Amino acid sequence: MKRIATTFTLLLLAQLTWAQTRVDVSAVNYSEDPSGVISFDLAFECTRGDTAFIAFGDIVFTADWTQFTNPTLNVTWLGAGQSRSGNANLNPGFIRFGSQQNGGKVVYSLDPKFIDSMWQFNDNVLALPNGQQTSLVHIEVTNYTGILDPAFDWVITGQDNENTSNVHYFTNKQPKFVTEPAVLRFTDFPTLGSPRLDITVFLEGAYDVNTGEMRTDLNSQGLLPLKNPYEAGPWNYSGGDSVAAIPNADVVDWVLVEIRETNNATNANATSVIGTRAGFLLKNGHVVDLDGSSYLEFDNVTFDDTKNQYVVVHHRNHLAMMCSDGLMYNDSLPPIPRWECDMTSGLSTIFGGSNGAKVKNGFSMLIAGDGDHDGDIFNSDSDVAWFGDIGANGYYDADFDLDGNVFNSDREVIWYTNKGKSNAVPQ
């Protein structure tokens, strides 16, 4: 799934220190059910300042409605929210397809009330304590065909809302409007289907300790193949990823990325793979899609939100490496939802610790020297792979430092240093 976009125009009530208050609005527990129901919970959290209070407001979002057949909308109050006086029996409001400027959009209105007395303020206005996320309502959209991505998105301007009032605050002493707008932040709906991955990883062979980045010798010499090199064993990747030209001068080499889904990292073996893609590794460590810049996207892959997802990165002459923690969802700037894992930030982030990664300049990275792709750095990588190609210039697996040449330095500096190392990724 791509992402979900929505417009919020909320009437907020808060301390006079309005400039110190921010309310985050997010969609949690997102689900695309095979029965044809898209569902999610709307959650609110005051993340800056004191308690914030919500009186009423509209929430607007869009979708690719061609992926639905006569959809219906339902909203259910979850009962977690309370008013200033502790009243939890609040009206869930109502949801409908918009009209006029909101044609083709879904509009959810929190319980609309005009607050004209302290009594109404205390009992009917939702209180959001600072730092406490509150799931308010559960929203369902029915008759999803499940054929293509519904591509939900927040409408990020407030100009087309049914309710065109700006976001304002009350004081918490008396129901008096102040004229300054609230500071709101709207997160993206979690991407469960066709996820984008934001992966950062270094290759030991190409890493330059002086620059803190990887060298691009293979690219600058025109040695990188236009088709990924992982179709043969042991990878046997059948995705066929290829390009007409290397899309970015910062490309270091091709890598192969797997997503493994299971309950814990120890069980993330080869049988748990749910998606595989070849992509480009840039010199700053970012793995990108075939356009050379965007996040690596896995079409037709859907995450099970009851399990964790782990990333394994393969390279043709380095040992594979796996993140020790499940992928984390991120919707911060730039505003593109993605699942991320930084595999350069130390041994604690790598499965197997020091057995699973090399550390240079404080950065963890894939271990170089596996020229025969068997998951071990043993004599065969020197005696067969390196010795067979010594003196050659080109795209060779025995070129452990990725400079385009198979020289003594590949054996003496790289292979010899790592001799005896083995793949720590669960098999």
**pLDDT, tens only, 367-402:** 999 999 999 999 999 998 899 899 999 999 999 999
**Gap between the Cα atoms of 38 and 50, Å rounded:** 34
The pLDDT of residue 183 is: 55
**Gap between the Cα atoms of 372 and 232, Å rounded:** 12
**Before 334, cis peptide (omega within 30)?**
yes
How many whole angstroms from its chain centre is CA 88? 34
**Gap between the Cα atoms of 288 and 254, Å rounded:** 10
What SS3 string covers 51-74? Answer: CEEEEEEEEEEECCHHHECCCCEE
The pLDDT of residue 124 is: 72
CB 162 within 8 A of CB 102: yes
The pLDDT of residue 2 is: 36
Sign of CA dihedral 297, 301, 306, 307: negative
Q: Going by C-beta distance under 8 Å and a sequence separation of 6 or more, which residues neighbour residue 273?
A: 258, 259, 260
- Residue bearing tokens 């990333």: 311
- Residue bearing tokens 């339902």: 74
Any alpha helices (H) in 76-137, and if so which ranges? 118-124
CA distances from 62 to 6, 95, 96, 315, 376 (A): 7, 13, 12, 40, 50
pTM: 0.64
Q: Which class does domain 6-186 fall in?
A: mainly beta
Instruction: Write out the two tokens for 368.
Output: 């170089």
The pLDDT of residue 20 is: 43
**Gap between the Cα atoms of 414 and 399, Å rounded:** 10
CA distances from 188 to 135, 156, 192, 406 (A): 15, 10, 12, 47
**pLDDT, tens only, 242-294:** 999 999 999 999 999 999 999 999 999 999 999 999 999 999 999 999 999 98
CB 172 within 8 A of CB 51: yes
**Gap between the Cα atoms of 58 and 43, Å rounded:** 14
The pLDDT of residue 3 is: 37
CB 233 within 8 A of CB 397: no
Domain with CATH 2.60.40 in the chain: 6-186
**Gap between the Cα atoms of 189 and 5, Å rounded:** 8
CB 237 within 8 A of CB 277: no
**pLDDT, tens only, 63-88:** 889 989 999 999 999 988 887 788 88
The pLDDT of residue 191 is: 60
Helix (H) or strand (E) holding 247: none
**Gap between the Cα atoms of 100 and 146, Å rounded:** 29
Q: With a cut of 70, which residues of the chain have pLDDT below it?
A: 1-22, 47-50, 55-57, 111-121, 156-193, 331-337
Side-chain-side CA neighbours of 83 within 13 Å: the count stands at 18
The residue among 327, 409, 345, 423 whose CA lies nearest residue 378 is 423
CA distances from 228 to 255, 385, 409 (A): 8, 20, 26
CB 250 within 8 A of CB 293: no
The residue among 231, 156, 111 whose CA lies nearest residue 6 is 156
**Gap between the Cα atoms of 323 and 92, Å rounded:** 41
**Gap between the Cα atoms of 275 and 235, Å rounded:** 13
